[in-house]
Chain A
Amino acid sequence: MLIFRKPIENIERPQMPADVVIVGGGPAGMACALRLAQLIDAHKAAHPDSELSKENVYVLEKAREIGQHCLSGALLDPRSMRELLPGFEKQAPLDADVTKEAVYFLTEKSKFKIPTPPFLRDHGNYVISLNRFVKWLGSKVEEAGITVFTGFAGCELLYDGDRVSGVQTDDKGVDKEGQQKSNFEPGYDLKAKVVILAEGPRGSLTKQLTEKFDLAKNANPQTYGVGVKELWEVPPGRIAKGEVIYTMGWPLTTKEYGGAWIYGSSNNVVSLGFVTGLDYPDPRLDPQHVLQDFKRHPFVEKLLEGGKMIRYGAKSMPYGGWWALPALAGNGWMMIGDTAGFLNAARLKGIHLAIKSGMLAAETAFDALLKNDWSAATLDAFQKKVESSWVKEELWKVRNLHQGFEHGLFAGIFHTGLQMITGGRGLRNRYSAVAGYERMRKLAELPADGGAEKNLLGRAKGDGKLTFDKLTDLYHSGTKHEEDQPAHLVIHDTNICNVRCVKEFGSPCQNFCPANVYEMVDDSSQPNGKRISLNPSNCVHCKTCDIQDPYQIITWVPPEGGGGPNYDGM
């Protein structure tokens, strides 16, 4: 019997008052906190008797340390950082200037260089480790006098009528059965004037809020990809520092959306990863397997030969773009960064937009502090700030990009070309979209051997040198959780897993999860002889299950704070 995580009921919770609570200490949350600190400092310098204070501005971060759950390619477009901290290049951990870029179309054995489209010209950007970058940005936030609570997740929103009035943090010391242990520590009710959600893609509080107030009713459904990444150390001379390579095509077929990145970093470290669009048709497809197959391409194999894989991780990313943005602010809340969907899918970049959206939200929160008005009337200004900033300008040009690929690669290339010469419009101003999980087909509708996709399906075996099975990769994520706690992958109806899904889709959770959390185990008491079992401690917090499960019965909630991957250098 699976016991799922939920807040302990009927207990007295400690309360703590706050002005601003930012949920999530990634690039968006940290930029927001830092910008707010700057504005408050400047105001106090000009008005020494002002009562404004940074004392009650808090950042909640579920990782044990700042930056530990941050994973990206990553290339940083410095535009927003230059606005936030002019001259940041002198002190931030930047691994390399982009010196060279190339885009290839791969077939199984060959590669064809294609002209680099304007949106993938990356000169002027930096190769960074997002983990190290956020660690540094977080230290700036702490130096500015803002308290970052690491090891604490926001797990419930508090409401006062139709107003968000705070966040409840995670209960600590709850055992597998959901009972309090001797060191039980109840989650706090952090009563806030405004809660800024910066949870990253598919945030769990964002999901609650979006459903409660139907915030996405005017938006396209958000679409996602999952990036599976490995960090390698390779012999010198394989790739230049600052060299950037993108590939399309193999091992994916024309039916899946996605592609790979390869970035040359410092110290002969190579960041490589494969983003698989979470709208593929075959439930047997396994994104971790896709990355392993990609590495077997002669071009990649030659690059990695004799090297060593040093880190592994996975993270989802929102592709939906401008039309998929939900309402961004309301009574007592705003949302920024990936959790809202600020990502440019054409450029495969979101960090600079996360930072900019965080800054704009900070400016809005600052105005609200001055007015002491936290209602939608004041906070809605955030929406307008976004619309009149370069964030919209950038996203508007690519507003229809991902939707253009919904009918496959060739249609996608056609639409992209058309959109490029029509300022992002293409055939019409707004392309619609469907949620990716709806595109998953039942086994009965697919060829038994997998057809053109057969090499991508099921588990990667791995040779232990170039390619790895999932558990070997997972070990390199450094993920760790308190073992004795309820499962944080909340399955609302396990009967669907055991009775329907196993037959209809063949339990795709086992495939799409890059961390081996989901397992169908033998159980003769079940109609199909299989029962869902969970290994929650393996979870790398990528949220793919919440996004991609075809019945939408999985809700990812934060496990006990402090648990999760350790993305050192990722």
Chain B
Amino acid sequence: MKILVCMKQVPQKDAPLKLNESGTWIREDVSYEVNEPDAYALEEALRQREKHKGEVVVITSGPARAQQVLREALAKGADRAIHLEDEKFVGLDAFNTAKAIAAAIKDEPFDLIFTGLQSDDYGYAQTGVILAELLGWPHATIIMQIEKTDAGIRVKRELEAGYFQFVDMPLPAVLTIQSGINKLRYATLIGIKQAKNKPLRKVTLAEVGGAIGNNLQKIERLYVPQKTKKTEYIEGPAGEVAKKLVDKLRNELRVL
């Protein structure tokens, strides 16, 4: 099986975030990490390769610093990497990101494409689904398990309230992977050292730029929510407190 894993570099979960001057995104002086569900997607791809042979290729779109997620993936065992490297790839919406990825891999016959369920920063959960649409492939989301069958694959999807759905799908297909599907492995010293010599193809904006149009979604304004909750203490004898409380609920909050 030849598997492509789409990975994204996102601000670290506990990083102290500050808004940029225009109030449309955060200031960049934070630490970054691999988007969590993408790490699980990579692990799943490595496990599938261990079972069924084949190749694992990782791809990311982002500035030079994003190469770190590819290095980590190569250190954990991915065979090669593709980096859509240009500042212009930063801040693309899901539609354009999917188009850029589709253009970058147009000559490569993958059996499966994995993405994380969604990114920890934008949280669109759209890139994988749109990519499937652009490629004309079937897709399934929130994947908890993948098994190869004679006809293709059988996947387990997480639904709400503890329910799961099992779906048989043909290949090729796009799957968006849920965190916790497996247990992540650690990079090893030898893996990190070998990663230095693994192929990493850089794709410039010029190579895929034709596929990208104007963003269809954009962030108008980002702001820190203001605390509006207020706590009011009603004091006095129990009877009076109850009376005042009923009055407030009925006449101020109108919930009774």
Contact = CB atoms under 8 A, between A and B. Distances in A.
A566 B31 contact: yes
Contacts of B186: 172-173, 183, 185
A190 B188 CA distance: 12
Interface stretch (B10-18, B170-178, B213-221, B247-255): B10-18
B14 A566 contact: yes
B31 A16 contact: no
A311 to B, nearest CB: 7
Contacts of A149: 189, 192
A434 B207 CA distance: 68
A68 B16 contact: no
Contact of B185 (A14, A169, A185, A310): A185
Contacts of B16: 310-311, 476, 478, 568
Contacts, number: 51
A136 to B, nearest CB: 13
Nearest to A479: B14
B189 A169 contact: yes
B14 A188 contact: no
**Range, interface on chain B:** 10 to 19
Interface in A148-164: 149, 151-152
A566 B185 contact: no
B167 interface: no
Contacts of B160: none
A14 B194 CA distance: 15
A566 B189 contact: no
Contacts of B196: 147
Given A183-B183, A569-B29, A480 B189 contact: no
Contacts of A310: 16
A490 B184 CA distance: 27
B190 interface: yes
A190 B31 contact: no
Interface in B181-203: 183-190, 192-193, 196
B104 to A, nearest CB: 26
A14 B112 CA distance: 33
Interface string B196-233: 10000000000000000000000000000000000000
B192 A147 contact: yes
A41 interface: no
B189 A183 contact: no
A147 B183 contact: no
A65 interface: yes
Interface string A48-88: 00000000000000001100100000000000000000000
A182 interface: yes
A430 B104 CA distance: 69
Interface string A161-199: 000000001001100000001110100101000000000
B185 A183 contact: yes
B188 A185 contact: yes
B242 interface: no
B105 interface: no
A14 B190 contact: yes
Contacts of B192: 147, 149
Contacts of A480: 14
A255 to B, nearest CB: 36
Given A566-B12, A568-B31, A182 B190 contact: no
A188 B15 contact: no
Contacts of B159: none
B90 interface: no
Contacts of A65: 31
Nearest to A147: B193
Contacts of A14: 188-190
B30 interface: yes
A554 to B, nearest CB: 27
Contacts of B193: 16, 147
B50 to A, nearest CB: 14
Q: Which 6 pairs, one residue from A and one from B, show the smallest C-beta to C-beta distance?
A: A185-B186, A172-B186, A478-B14, A188-B189, A183-B183, A183-B185
Interface of B: 12, 14-16, 29-31, 33, 183-190, 192-193, 196
27 contacts: A14-B189, A14-B190, A16-B193, A64-B33, A65-B31, A68-B31, A132-B29, A147-B193, A147-B196, A152-B189, A169-B189, A172-B186, A183-B183, A183-B185, A185-B185, A185-B188, A188-B188, A476-B16, A478-B14, A478-B16, A480-B14, A566-B15, A568-B15, A568-B29, A568-B30, A568-B31, A569-B29
